């Protein structure tokens, strides 16, 4: 049974507008939870509920909703959100996953940066008799990653991991939005499991080649998985870890093959209606940032 009334928490971040726009375009009724009440980047048809993000305010906001999509950056805070959804009678919960394959890779699940997501997954599994869920696994955001210089840096040095030839699954923000709609329209196909999607499986070297074709000169900084692991874990152990350390762990999860980040052979693209990008389309995506 398709869900119609959808509440979204954390709608103004990197992914939020793409998800909300896709929900609205699909004719779903969208309510956005906001601390500030400001939703300037979102469609005018979206209802905004100002909340103090307490459990009671969540429960009140979720009444009458069929499903909740969480895009909150604070993963440790999601269990109270789940409890509020259950209390309000919500049927389906999409947690703030939208990234690496935590559910299917023990190496990724062991990384400190994903501790909150692991906690959320375990909590949802313990509550599946009361609420259904799905974990969206999309890898690195393709367009965001290029703009942020994460998979290829168009405005500075590009760290190339393990030679840069290995392909990794990656998904555009727009396609993540499409997949979210598909899951909520056909929840029985996807409930209580990870949903794997990709706009492309592409290597760092392929992206570098496209950027250079578009006139960019890319400065390569070669690195190995072992080097990054050794440095990052040392900082965790001696208490000197800062944001760059956690970004290193994210890079390993997204770009280092031993971590399991290519699901070309097991994705749900056909079920969610995503077509993989052609070479021409990949070039168009890169060209947006050149």
pLDDT number for residue 39: 67
Handedness of CA 250, 251, 257, 263 (dihedral sign): positive
| Rounded mean pLDDT, 165-178 | 98
5-139+171-198+262-274: CATH homologous superfamily?
Answer: NAD(P)-binding Rossmann-like Domain (3.40.50.720)
Mean pLDDT rounded to a whole number for the chain: 94
76 pLDDT above the threshold of 90: no
| Rounded mean pLDDT, 76-103 | 94
CA separation for the pair 203, 162 (Å, rounded): 11
Per-residue confidence band for 74, with pLDDT thresholds at 50, 70 and 90: confident
77 pLDDT above the threshold of 90: no
pLDDT number for residue 38: 64
CA distances to 106, 220, 261 from 258, rounded to whole Å, are: 11, 21, 8
Q: What is the b/e burial string over 256-283, where b = at least 16 CB atoms within 10 angstroms of the residue's CB?
A: beebbbbbeeebbbebbebebbeeeebb
| Domain coordinates in residue numbering, the chain | 5-139+171-198+262-274
| Rounded mean pLDDT, 211-220 | 96
Share of the chain above pLDDT 70, in %: 98
Residue 211, phi then psi, degrees to nearest 5: -60, -40
CA separation for the pair 245, 233 (Å, rounded): 8
13 pLDDT above the threshold of 90: no
Per-residue confidence band for 96, with pLDDT thresholds at 50, 70 and 90: very high
- How many C-beta neighbours within 10 Å does residue 179 have? 29
pLDDT number for residue 84: 95
pLDDT number for residue 37: 63
Q: Where are the beta strands (DSSP E) in the chain?
A: 5-9, 29-34, 47-50, 67-70, 92-94, 132-137, 140-141, 158-161, 167-171, 193-196, 200-203, 220-223
Q: What is the pLDDT of residues 35-71, one digit of tens each?
A: 766 666 788 889 998 888 777 889 999 999 999 999 9
């Amino acid at each position: 049974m398709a869900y119609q009334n959808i509440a979204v928490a954390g709608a103004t971040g990197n992914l939020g507008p793409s998800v909300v726009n896709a929900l609205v375009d699909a004719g779903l009724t969208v309510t956005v939870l906001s601390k500030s009440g400001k939703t300037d980047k979102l469609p005018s048809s979206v209802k905004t509920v100002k909340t103090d993000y307490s459990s009671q305010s969540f429960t009140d906001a979720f009444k009458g909703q069929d499903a909740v999509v969480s895009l909150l950056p604070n993963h440790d805070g999601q269990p109270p959100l789940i409890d509020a959804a259950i209390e309000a009678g919500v049927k389906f919960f999409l947690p703030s996953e939208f990234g690496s394959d935590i559910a299917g890779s023990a190496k990724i699940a062991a990384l400190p940066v994903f501790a909150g997501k692991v906690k959320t997954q375990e909590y949802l599994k313990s509550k599946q008799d009361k609420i259904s869920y799905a974990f969206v696994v999309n890898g690195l955001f393709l367009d965001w990653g290029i703009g942020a210089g994460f998979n290829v840096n168009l405005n500075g040095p590009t760290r190339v991991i393990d030679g840069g030839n290995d392909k990794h699954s990656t998904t555009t923000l727009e396609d993540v939005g499409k997949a979210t709609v598909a899951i909520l329209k056909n929840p029985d196909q996807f409930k209580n499991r990870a949903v794997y999607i990709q706009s492309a499986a592409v290597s760092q070297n392929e992206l570098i080649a496209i950027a250079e074709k578009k006139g960019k000169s890319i400065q390569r900084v070669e690195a190995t998985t072992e080097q990054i692991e050794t440095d990052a874990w040392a900082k965790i152990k001696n208490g000197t870890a800062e944001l760059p350390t956690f970004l290193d762990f994210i890079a390993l999860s997204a770009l280092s093959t031993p971590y399991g980040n290519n699901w070309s052979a097991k994705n749900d693209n056909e079920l969610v209606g995503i077509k993989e990008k052609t070479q021409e389309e990949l070039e168009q995506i890169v060209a947006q940032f050149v």
